Amino acid sequence: MARTFFFVLGSLLLGIFALIPDQDCPVGFCDRVSDCALFEGDCPNNNLTFSVENGGICGCCRACVRFIGPNEACSIEGQRSRLGMDGVVDSGQCLPGYECKDDICAEPNSQQVPCLVKAWNALLKANANPNIRTWLHIPKCEVRRKEETGEETTMFEGFYSHIQCQGGKSGRCYCANPIDGTKLFGYEFQLDVEEKKDMNCACTLEWFERRQRLEHVTLRSELNGNYKSLQCDKDICFCVNGTTTEFIGPFLPKSLWTMLPCYDPEEFPDEMYYPFNSCGHHYNLYRIYADELEAHGTIVSYVNYPDCDPDGTYAPAQVDVDR
């Protein structure tokens, strides 16, 4: 009874400010929402409602946010969050990835297919032909609140979940690019993922982001995309919990890495950090060679570095750059 009373009271409190644009929310408003658990829980399973971090009114609490479905009526002026009587936030916005065109939620004209657009179209195919549901890949998507859009409405955007699974219970899960859903390094059987619940692809995602910035990356991942227990970022080595991504023990220079609690002489036989004759081992040899030449005044214009995966093995595709 008391919980119901506080839920209704909290809903009314948020509802008072539901019509106010986010940037006009009263200062310290979220401090008045003392129990975010009142607004959390399982969201309705209707493919239009998602649990969003800071998705509540004024960015308070994780909340269930409801969107307008494809081909349904919409209004740009109506894109303002309101709290429904069922405790779900009505965003007034088309399902992320769709655009409000001529007062209808329509697919965007872009070559890159947003996750929720691809998922919705796949669901339509699966519902039309249930026999293909077992093998049809319906991407898993997530919705995030946009940071400081500068607009007068609360806007949300959709992403591909960084772990995608395909093939049912006997299939595999793999790490994915949150922007376009392409496969990245890291995989594990779906049964193992559901049983162990430790796959996070954290190392693969950081490795990929830093490679996109053309950085030299020395992080190493497990086969499932998690961090290996011993990491060396350039010349500083440390231990990390691959599941929680928490640091363990001190940060030491590479010359002292044998003192780290996670050091294994069988896995790291020498100072090269990667197993002998692996792609990472050869990559580092090339770098040492190039650095020594440059230290003696020779400008290195071409080094055919091998393409490596985050675990230090050779990538499936190798490119021989023209000189």
Percent of the chain with pLDDT over 70: 80
Written as six digits, the tokens of 217 are: 């990356």
List, for residues 293-305, the tens digit of each pLDDT value.
778 778 776 677 7
pTM (global) more than 0.85? no
List, for residues 151-176, the tens digit of each pLDDT value.
545 588 899 999 999 887 788 999 99
pLDDT score of 9: 45
Domain boundaries, the chain: 2-159
Q: How far apart are CA 83 and CA 18, in angstroms?
A: 6
Is the pLDDT at 257 greater than 60? The verdict is yes
List of residues 6+ apart from 61 with CB closer than 8 A: 30, 33, 36, 39, 40, 54, 55
The residue ranking higher by pLDDT, 276 or 87, is 87
CA nearest to 87, candidates 27, 124, 38, 30 = 38
Per the CB < 8 A criterion, the answer to whether 74 and 68 are in contact is yes
